[in-house]
Structures are given as C-alpha cells and as structure tokens.
C-alpha cells in the first residue's frame, strides 16, 4: 500500500507539472485533493483514499483540523439536516420505503498524518476524530468532524493526510445518491472535505482578533457549501459500461477487466462531483469566447431527452456570452451538463465546479422554458459560487440571489424577444409562452417575493438555517434577484456592468462577503448605496409607492372637480391641480414622478420618497389627466405595481375583454352539463 501511495504521489506530482492548466494559479490553492475512488454499483458505495494537502494561510498555529462529512446528514433521522428539512428537499423526499438502502453515510476508516509543516510523519489520527456540532446542540449530528493534531500546523505551514473512507450513497436525495436501481449515480458531497480556516481579516473575522477560527458548519436543511480552492485529481473506477462525467478535465481512461478507471484533474476549484450511468448519451459542443478561449461543452443526456441537447447547449452558450460581457471570461476548459434520469430528479438543478445538473421532461414544449431556466441558472453558479466563492451557509444570497439576477438577465435577453430587452417587465415570454399563457422569468421570480405574506417575512442576510420555514427560496433567490434588477435599473446598464465586472475581478477565487459587494457598489458608483442595502438585505421592510389622488379644481368653482370628470376646460381656463403621491410601506427610495396634462404637457420630478406623502400643486389651464410614480418600473422591489398610476378618466376596455373571456370559458364549462 505504501508503494501504491508513493506511486500515487509521484503521478500526482508529475501530472501537476506536466498538465498545469493555469501557469499562474488563479486561486490560493489551500486545499488540494488526490482521491482514488471505486464505485460499487451493487452496494451503492464508494471505497476511496484521499490525500489531502492543506495549507495554513494564516499567522496562527492551528491545533486541529475540521472536516465536513456531508453524507452523514442522511445517516438517520437524528441529523440536523433531517430534523430541519423533515426529510425532504424541494419537494423530493428521502425514500424511506427503500429501507437501509435509502440512507447515506460516510465513514472514515483511517486517517494518517503523512507530513506536517514539511516534516514527514506517519501518525495515525483515526482515534483523534470526534464529531462536533458548531451550530446546534444536536449531539447526534455527525456532519462535522474535528481532529486534534499532535502539534499545530504552523503559520504558512502545511499538513498532508491520508484518509481512507467509505461513502454509502443514499437513494437520490438532496442532490446526491443513486437512482434507477443503480443505473444512475450522482456523486456529490461524498468525500471528507476540510473546512475553511478564517484568519483575522478574512471575511468577518476582525483584523484585531487574536486568533482566527474554523468555519465548518454542519449540513443544514437548506444549506449549501463553503470551501477553499485547490487542485483536484480524482481517479474513479466504475463498471466498464458506465459513462462518467465529472468536475474538470479527463486526463486518462484505462480498462481493467470489467472495470475502467478515469482520472480527472482540475485546478482552482473548491469541490468535485461526478456522475456515472450506463444510460447516458453523450453530446459535445464548444464555445469560443471573444478572447479565443475555448470551452468544451459536454451534455450527458438521458436517451429520451436526446432531442433537447441543442436546447441545453444554446442555454449555456447564451449564459457564457452574457457572463463574459457582464462579469468576465469563464477560465476553465470544460463544462459538463448532466441530465438526471427519471426518478433522479432530486439530483437535478445543482452546481459544482465545471459540472452542473439540469433537468427536463420528455417532449417538453419549446414554449415551456424550464429547461433553459435551470440550465442557465446552474451555469451561472460557475461565477456566483464557483469563482466568487462566498459562504453559502451564511450569505446564500451572494450566490443564489446574484445568480438569480444572472438567470433573469440571460432569460430576458435571449428568450424574450425585443420587448424583454427594453424593460424587465416588458419580458412576458421568457418563462412560459404556451397555449396563450405568457409569463416572463422576471415576473414569476418577482411574484414569489411580492405577495403580502412573504414580502416582510424575513431578512435576506442571515444563516440559511435560521430562515423562517419556506423562506429560503424567497429570501435567498427571489427577493435578492429582484433587488439586483432594481439596482441595475437605478444604475443603468453601463454602470451596473462596471460594478459587476469590478466585483468579479476583485473577488474571483476568493470568499467575498455582502460587505465587499456593498463597498464595491459604493466605490464604483461614487454614491452611498448603504441605505438601499440596509433596507433590503438586513431588514424586513417592504417597498410600495402609489399615486394616491389627482384633483382638478376649476378656479371659478368652489367644489373640487371629480378626478373622473370629462370636463377638459373651464370658462376661465384655469385649474388648481393637486396630485398626491404616497409611500405606503416602510422602505424608502427616491422615486421618479410624472404628471400628464390634458394639453399634452408633462411635469417630471424626483421625489426623495422620505415623507409618507408628497403633494404637487399646479395652477394650469389644462387639467391633470394622469400621474405616475416610477412609471418605468425601475423599482421592481415595489410589491404592488398596480397602484403606480392614476388616471383622471377611467378606462375599462381591458376589463371588458377579460370579463368576456371569462364568460366564454364559463359558458363552455356550463355546456358540458347541457
């Protein structure tokens, strides 16, 4: 075994030298993994050996190491994940009817310290492993392990460990496991993964703190992940007839009897996931960026979805083009898109570095664009999560919310026609355009946030496991996505682009925080947007501005003219006009206001929006015929856009149309009876 290890080390070193992908490292490369894994498709288990080289980037002497053991979330009903989620994620339940095979776990069989601070050692740490629960008092949760070292990892020192482990995969649940009786595997969160040590000055650890700390949260019902960048070399052995896809670039493929071994390699990523299935049909395409960088696109399709390969490739290419323009170039050379099998839907819609899972349906009509939405969204995570590697446990909006903005922007630009390019709400087709039902992606995303029940329910920035039940989607995806669109509308396209490109350039391959983003916005725009973010990220206030009233009082009359009066002029040709705008909720934002008069003239102003009411009075020969607040719908965060306009004359033609439509449907329903 020692010989095997030595060979493994040697080959790793050789491959690193021979196959360097990025001559200048893109990231600090603190956590580097060399994993040799074998999949047992019958037992649904993985036997593996992991060589972990971990660098202490801090000035602290660190006495212990902490590891995520995510699969233990599915070990039993006592895990924190299970208790919080009730055994379901996004409507997919852990199939307990499968008995023991439904559950998943990870067991560290042995852990050896191979070297410490440059000195070779051979110390067995297995007995030093203990489970800890940094987030709650659930002693039954085994998703985080702590290992005490015989001596600390010195500042800038390095620890190298050999970890033998066995992962038992659950029946597809929470993005990982097996389906189709072992004909489909999505292997994610599957290996002991070291936490992130945060030194003073990192993220929210004060620079003045005497010591840094491990950031290694338990696996929670809604939480995703947080890890340091590094180099991954993973050797995967599977039955010969299984098609494999994985993070990174395939380096080699060799067959031994009924099995084959594939070696994948990727620099500057912070996770590794893979899939294996004999069902996949493989499609390949490529994308060339404007600077000439080529990305190989691989789509692992279910046979019944083979006719949708082009839909997936088009979605990714559109997203690549958009991201290149708004953020920066995708630096990796591959992207693998996995189409989970029937029954494996729990593995769909997930992101890993250079590897995403999508999800579609047999003969899905082109007008139902869920396939494009999920593909674009998961690709977007290559930026928001992949390269901008925020802490998903603590600030999920930075990946999910910003990525929702990316998704909405891409869908608007490429799937909504010309109307979508003009305004966010002009897009009426980018989510659904089928059988007369037309819904834009922005509209459907915004609606999740704009209902009275959800608008003020929670704040955006908080640990994800502390969201009120059902709040994760709204407050880490929909509301922040809408907030980002609002910010874009306020700043304008060019400035927003500069903000986002600066943010990406400055924080790629790092762990950005909300604070970093706000600082970037303020710096690039030269304005203080802190109050904007304070309201929408850190408080529960809602935004709703309305036009409250219009009154036209003829100067020669005592009585106020009715707002619906048809009388356009008066004898003396003079009106006292009063238009009242109202702030109906607590959030404050400057608002464009506009008043239209019967002679065609217009009054425009920007109201600071601070007071509850803003009254505009005019003395004119023409009556006010309409008033608008935020008429361009810049503030998509406004929870009620229906009250943003008021007209002097009623207009009901559209209501007649829908009344006639409803009557027609009802009549036809009645005629089924007689």
Partner 1 sequence: MTKAIQRGFKGALSVWQASAWIYAINLLFALGFAMAFKNILSEEFANRDVSARLLEGFDFTFLSDLNYASLSVSSLMAMLGWLVVGYALVSVFLSGGVIATLLRGTFSAPDFFADSARYVGRFLALAVLFGLALLAPLIAFSIFLAIGRAMAESATSEAPLVIWTIVGIAIAFLKGAYFYLVFEVAKFEVVTENASPFRAFASALKIVTRHLASFYGILFAFLVIVSLIALLLHALAPEGKSGAGVFALALTQQAFVASRAFLRVASIGGLLWNYQDAKPKKELSPSGAQVSPSLEPTTQVAESQSDAEIKAESESK
Q: Quick check: 279 binds partner 1 (CB under 8 A)?
A: yes
Report the SS3 class of residue 209: coil
Quick one: which of 115, 117, 121, 304 contacts partner 1 (CB under 8 A)? 304
Quick one: which of 83, 112, 166, 438 contacts partner 1 (CB under 8 A)? 438
Q: Are 400 and 434 in contact (CB under 8 A)?
A: no
Residue 220 or 446: the one with the smaller Cβ distance to partner 1 is: 446
Report the SS3 class of residue 154: coil
Residue 24 or 672: the one with the smaller Cβ distance to partner 1 is: 672
Quick one: which of 447, 466, 530, 601 contacts partner 1 (CB under 8 A)? 447
Quick one: which of 183, 213, 479, 634 contacts partner 1 (CB under 8 A)? 183
Q: Quick check: 667 binds partner 1 (CB under 8 A)?
A: yes
Give CA–CA dist 22/332, Å, rounded.
Answer: 9
Contacting partner 1 within 193-222 (CB under 8 A): none
**DSSP letter for each residue of 26-79:** SS---EEEEEEEEEETTTTEEEEEEEEEEE--SSS-EEEEEEE-GGGGGSSTTS
Q: Quick check: 544 binds partner 1 (CB under 8 A)?
A: yes
Give CA–CA dist 525/6, Å, rounded.
Answer: 54
**Smallest separation (angstroms) from partner 1 to the CB of 183:** 6
Residue 206 or 673: the one with the smaller Cβ distance to partner 1 is: 673
**Smallest separation (angstroms) from partner 1 to the CB of 8:** 35
Quick one: which of 121, 151, 444, 502 contacts partner 1 (CB under 8 A)? 444
Quick one: which of 443, 488, 516, 630 contacts partner 1 (CB under 8 A)? 443
**Smallest separation (angstroms) from partner 1 to the CB of 547:** 9
**Smallest separation (angstroms) from partner 1 to the CB of 253:** 24
Q: Cα–Cα distances in Å, from 387 out to 55, 356, 475? A: 19, 14, 22
Please list, in sequence order, all residues whose beta carbon lies within 8 angstroms of the beta carbon of residue 259, skipping any fewer than 6 positions away. 38, 237, 238, 239, 240
**DSSP letter for each residue of 539-576:** S---B-EEEEEEEEEETT-SSPBPTT------TT--EE
Q: How many residues does this entry show for the chain?
A: 674
Q: Quick check: 586 binds partner 1 (CB under 8 A)?
A: no
Q: Which two tokens stand for residue 76?
A: 């039993």
- Neighbouring-strand partners of residue 375: none
Q: Are 494 and 326 in contact (CB under 8 A)?
A: no
- What are the backbone angles phi and psi of residue 509, rounded to the nearest 5°? 60, 25
Q: Quick check: 456 binds partner 1 (CB under 8 A)?
A: no
Residue 74 or 628: the one with the smaller Cβ distance to partner 1 is: 628
Contacting partner 1 within 471-490 (CB under 8 A): none
Q: Which two tokens stand for residue 10?
A: 């040697």
Per CB under 8 A, the segment of 57-65, 440-448, 478-486, 523-531 that binds partner 1 is 440-448
**Smallest separation (angstroms) from partner 1 to the CB of 348:** 12
Please, what sign has the CA dihedral across residues 589, 590, 591, 597? positive
Please list, in sequence order, all residues whose beta carbon lies within 8 angstroms of the beta carbon of residue 156, skipping any fewer than 6 positions away. 55, 56, 57, 59
Q: Quick check: 296 binds partner 1 (CB under 8 A)?
A: no
Q: Quick check: 430 binds partner 1 (CB under 8 A)?
A: no
For residue 522, give the nearest of 510, 511, 508, 534 by alpha carbon: 534
Quick one: which of 129, 144, 341, 356 contacts partner 1 (CB under 8 A)? 341
What distance separates the 2 farthest-apart alpha carbons in the chain?
Answer: 105
Q: Quick check: 239 binds partner 1 (CB under 8 A)?
A: no
Q: Quick check: 440 binds partner 1 (CB under 8 A)?
A: yes
Please, what sign has the CA dihedral across residues 138, 141, 146, 147? positive
Residue 38 or 438: the one with the smaller Cβ distance to partner 1 is: 438
Per CB under 8 A, the segment of 80-88, 220-228, 308-316, 340-348 that binds partner 1 is 340-348
Q: Quick check: 450 binds partner 1 (CB under 8 A)?
A: yes
Task: Give the rounded distance of the alpha carbon of 449 from its chain centre.
Answer: 16
Q: Quick check: 102 binds partner 1 (CB under 8 A)?
A: no
- Neighbouring-strand partners of residue 35: 50, 234
Per CB under 8 A, the segment of 2-10, 83-91, 175-183, 406-414 that binds partner 1 is 175-183
Give CA–CA dist 387/390, Å, rounded.
Answer: 9
List, in sequence order, every beta strand (DSSP E) within 621-661. 624-629, 645-647
Q: Are 274 and 245 in contact (CB under 8 A)?
A: yes
Q: Quick check: 603 binds partner 1 (CB under 8 A)?
A: no
List, in sequence order, every beta strand (DSSP E) within 199-280. 213-215, 230-239, 243-246, 249-256, 259-269, 274-277
Q: Quick check: 163 binds partner 1 (CB under 8 A)?
A: no
Number of residues that bind partner 1 (CB under 8 A): 66
Quick one: which of 43, 130, 468, 649 contacts partner 1 (CB under 8 A)? 649
Q: Quick check: 342 binds partner 1 (CB under 8 A)?
A: yes
Contacting partner 1 within 25-44 (CB under 8 A): none
Residue 319 or 639: the one with the smaller Cβ distance to partner 1 is: 639
Q: Quick check: 659 binds partner 1 (CB under 8 A)?
A: yes
Residue 319 or 648: the one with the smaller Cβ distance to partner 1 is: 648
**Smallest separation (angstroms) from partner 1 to the CB of 548:** 11
**Smallest separation (angstroms) from partner 1 to the CB of 566:** 13
Per CB under 8 A, the segment of 68-76, 86-94, 431-439, 475-483 that binds partner 1 is 431-439
Question: Which ranges constitute the DSSP H helices of 235-288?
Answer: none
Q: Cα–Cα distances in Å, from 265 out to 11, 13, 54, 236, 554? A: 12, 12, 17, 11, 79
Binding site for partner 1 (CB under 8 A): 180-181, 183-184, 279, 302-304, 341-343, 361-363, 425, 428, 436-440, 443-444, 446-447, 450-452, 544, 563-564, 626, 628, 639-643, 645-664, 666-671, 673-674
């Amino acid at each position: 075994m020692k010989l095997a290890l030595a060979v493994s080390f040697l080959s790793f070193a050789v491959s690193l030298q021979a196959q360097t992908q990025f001559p200048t490292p893109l990231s600090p490369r603190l956590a580097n993994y060399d994993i040799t894994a074998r999949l047992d498709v019958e037992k649904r288990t993985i036997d593996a050996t992991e060589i972990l080289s971990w660098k202490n980037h801090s000035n602290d002497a660190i006495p212990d190491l902490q590891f995520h053991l995510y699969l233990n979330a599915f070990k039993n009903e006592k895990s924190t994940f299970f208790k919080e989620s009730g055994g379901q994620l996004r409507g997919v339940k852990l199939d307990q009817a499968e008995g023991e095979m439904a559950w998943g776990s990870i067991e560290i069989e042995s852990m050896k310290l191979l070297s410490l601070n440059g000195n070779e050692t051979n110390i067995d740490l297995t007995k030093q492993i203990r489970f800890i629960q940094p987030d709650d008092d659930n002693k039954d949760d085994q998703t985080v392990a702590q290992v005490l070292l015989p001596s600390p990892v010195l500042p800038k020192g390095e620890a190298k460990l050999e970890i033998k482990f066995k992962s038992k995969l659950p029946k597809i649940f929470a993005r990982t496991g097996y389906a189709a009786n072992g004909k489909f595997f999505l292997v994610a969160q599957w290996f002991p993964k070291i936490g992130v040590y945060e030194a003073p000055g990192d993220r929210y650890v004060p620079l003045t703190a005497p010591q840094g700390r491990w950031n290694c949260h338990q696996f929670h019902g809604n939480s995703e992940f947080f890890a340091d960048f590094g180099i991954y070399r993973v050797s995967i052995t599977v039955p010969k007839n299984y098609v494999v896809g994985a993070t990174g670039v395939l380096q080699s493929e060799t067959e031994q009897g009924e099995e084959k071994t594939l070696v994948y390699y990727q620099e500057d990523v912070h996770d590794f996931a893979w899939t294996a299935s004999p069902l996949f049909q493989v499609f390949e395409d490529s994308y060339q960026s404007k600077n000439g960088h080529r990305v190989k696109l691989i789509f692992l399709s279910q046979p019944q979805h083979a006719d949708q390969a082009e839909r997936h490739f088009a979605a990714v290419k559109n997203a690549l083009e958009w991201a290149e323009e708004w953020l920066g170039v995708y630096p990796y050379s591959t992207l693998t898109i996995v189409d989970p099998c029937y029954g494996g839907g729990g593995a769909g819609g997930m992101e890993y570095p250079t590897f995403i899972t999508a999800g579609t349906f047999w003969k899905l009509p082109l007008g139902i664009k869920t396939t494009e939405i999920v593909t674009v969204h998961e690709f977007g995570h290559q930026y928001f999560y992949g390269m901008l590697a925020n802490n998903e446990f603590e600030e999920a909006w930075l990946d999910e919310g910003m990525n929702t903005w990316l998704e909405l922007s891409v869908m608007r630009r490429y799937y909504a026609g010309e109307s979508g390019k003009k305004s966010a709400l002009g897009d009426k087709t980018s989510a659904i355009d089928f059988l007369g039902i037309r819904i834009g992606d922005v509209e459907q995303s915004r609606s999740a946030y704009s209902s009275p029940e959800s608008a003020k329910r929670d704040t955006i920035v908080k640990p994800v496991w502390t969201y009120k039940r059902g709040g994760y989607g709204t407050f880490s995806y929909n509301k922040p996505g809408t907030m980002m669109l609002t910010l874009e509308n306020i700043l304008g396209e060019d400035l927003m682009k500069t903000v986002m490109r600066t943010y990406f350039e400055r924080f790629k391959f790092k762990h950005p925080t909300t604070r970093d983003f706000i600082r970037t916005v303020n710096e690039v725009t030269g304005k203080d947007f802190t109050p904007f973010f304070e309201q929408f990220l850190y408080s529960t206030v809602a935004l709703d501005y309305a036009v409250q009233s219009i009154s036209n009082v003829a100067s020669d009359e005592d009585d106020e003219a009715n707002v619906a009066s048809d009388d356009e002029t008066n004898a003396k040709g003079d009106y006292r006009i009063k238009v009242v705008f109202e702030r109906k909720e607590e959030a404050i934002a400057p608002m464009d206001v506009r008043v239209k008069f019967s002679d065609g003239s217009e009054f425009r102003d920007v109201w600071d929006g601070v007071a509850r009411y803003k009254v505009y009075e005019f003395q004119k020969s023409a009556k006010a015929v309409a008033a608008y607040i935020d008429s361009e719908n810049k503030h998509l965060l406004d929870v009620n856009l229906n009250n943003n306009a008021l007209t002097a004359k009623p207009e009901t033609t559209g209501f007649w149309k829908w009344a006639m439509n409803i009557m027609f449907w009802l009549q036809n329903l009645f005629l089924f009876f007689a």
